[in-house]
Amino acid sequence: MAIKVPKLGKFANINSISRKLNTYLESIPPRINIEDLSGGRLIFRINSFCTDRIAIYKNLDYDFAHREFVISIAIPLPDNTQVPYGMPPGENGKTGSFPPVESEHFYPLDPEYDNYDNLEQYILEAAIKAIEYGLTKGFTDGGIELKFSSSIETRRLPSPQRKYVMEYKKVTVVMGNNVPRLDDFADMSSIYKKIDTYIKSILPRINIKDLSEWKLTVGIDHVCAECISILKKLGPYPSHKEYVTLLAIPIPDDRQAPYGMPRSEDEPIEPLELKRKSDFHLLDPEYDKYADLNQYILASTIKAIELGFTKGFAREGKALRFQDL
């Protein structure tokens, strides 16, 4: 839980709150459609700062480099002019300006300060209330809607319009999208079918038997970035007996290529930043070699997969790679 209010630790036991909140969070996975995240981790980012209401961001943020889906929640902290247990005022007589939560991108909740006896109780119960409310309403990311499920039978695969899942005997390929409205400008269904055909053609060339009882998941994401990136190593997930590797395919805008996506002020996206570039194979997207967006996405995806399996994806001193080189 990130702390955004100076000296908050003097008035509430943040470590105690975190421990209790983590205990509560352990109860969440069985209640939600966690498999729709295709092996990605779910992170709750809870910030405490000055707003007029609890704010729950409606969308899932996807951190490609760490394969994490992030839910962001803002918990307002009262000052002692609002409730007796509130924070003492600062130099201007208040803890903060308490700006209103008015964006349509958030679920707003009344903090109901009067229902609590102290600051620690308020922060913990407000955070749980926000998580419960958000997962009841649902958090979205393209074709995914993460929310409480009434029963396991009600769970479903992500919408094929925004995330494609290709499953083979020991390999799953998940093709996702972090670029708004990409489906409006590229025939992703056709691209998916062609990648499916390509993946089937290369399986006999890979030393899949070295995985033993484990499976391989290849995550392919479309992002805003400068270059194609291919994670060099396989990430192990022992609980699922699964290895995961990631590829990111940058999507050009109309300044980078004539066939690029139009820029949108209404739906800006943050560019992907690789924290440790040495962990990735990097490729120039070479936008000028392609005639349209469909051709570019398909060819770049195949190029990235070919490079990854030619170089090899490392794991425990070995590598999963093409065997016919």
pLDDT band of 166, cuts 50, 70, 90 = low
pLDDT of residue 291: 95
- Give the pLDDT of residue 76: 87
- The percentage of residues in the chain with a pLDDT greater than 90, rounded to a whole number, is 17
| Bridge partners, residue 166, by sequence | 173
- Is residue 159's pLDDT more than 50? no
What is the phi/psi pair of residue 230, to 5°?
-130, 120
The segment with the largest mean pLDDT, out of 62-66, 180-184, 193-197, is 193-197
DSSP conformational letter for 316: T
pLDDT at 78 over 60: yes
Q: What DSSP character marks residue 211?
A: G
Exposed (0-12), middle (13-18) or buried (19+): which is 317, by Cβ within 10 Å?
Answer: exposed
Lowest-confidence region among 83-92, 97-106, 115-124, 175-184: 97-106
Determine the pLDDT at residue 293: 95
In the chain, beta strands by DSSP E: 2-3, 41-49, 54-57, 61-63, 68-76, 106-109, 139-141, 144-146, 164-167, 171-177, 215-223, 228-231, 235-237, 242-250, 280-283, 313-315, 318-320
Domains of the chain, by residue range, sit at 2-152, 164-320
- What pLDDT sits at residue 4? 41
The pLDDT of residue 260:
92
119-137 and 14-25 helices, crossing angle to 10°: 30
Q: Which residues contact 193 (CB under 8 A, 6 or more apart)?
A: none
Between CA 258 and CA 292 the distance in angstroms is: 8
- pLDDT at position 271 is 55
| Across 145-169, average pLDDT | 50
pLDDT in tens, 119-139: 988 998 999 899 999 998 998
Q: How far apart are CA 172 and CA 89, in angstroms?
A: 55
Summarize pLDDT for 225-263 with one digit per residue, the tens: 889 999 888 887 776 678 888 898 999 988 899 999 887
For position 282, what pLDDT does the model report? 92
- pLDDT attached to residue 79: 83
- Bigger pLDDT: 270 vs 200: 200
Is the pLDDT at 96 greater than 50? The verdict is no
Please tell me the predicted confidence (pLDDT) of residue 274.
60
Q: How confident is the model at residue 283 (pLDDT cuts 50, 70, 90)?
A: very high
Residue 267 makes CB contacts below 8 A (sequence gap 6+) with 180, 181
Residue with tokens 């070919």: 306
In the chain, % helix, strand, coil (3-state, to 5) comes to: 30, 30, 40
pLDDT per residue as tens digits for the range 43-70: 888 887 667 789 898 888 877 667 788 8
At residue 152, the pLDDT reads: 32
Beta bridge partners of 283: 228
Going by the DSSP 8-state scheme, the letter that residue 321 receives in this structure is -
Q: Residue 22: what residue type?
A: N
Per the model's pLDDT, the better-predicted residue between 207 and 160 turns out to be 207
Number of neighbours of residue 179 by Cβ within 10 angstroms: 20
Is pLDDT above 90 for 36? no
Task: Identify the residue with better confidence: 95 or 219.
Answer: 219
Q: Which pLDDT band holds residue 99 (cuts at 50, 70, 90)?
A: low
Collapsed DSSP state (helix, strand, coil) of residue 192: helix
Cα–Cα distance for residue pair 105/102, rounded to 1 Å: 9
Q: Residue 162 — pLDDT band, cuts 50, 70, 90?
A: very low
Phi, psi values for residue 162, rounded to 5°: -125, -20
| pLDDT mean across residues, the chain | 79
Q: Which residue has the higher pLDDT, 315 or 50?
A: 315
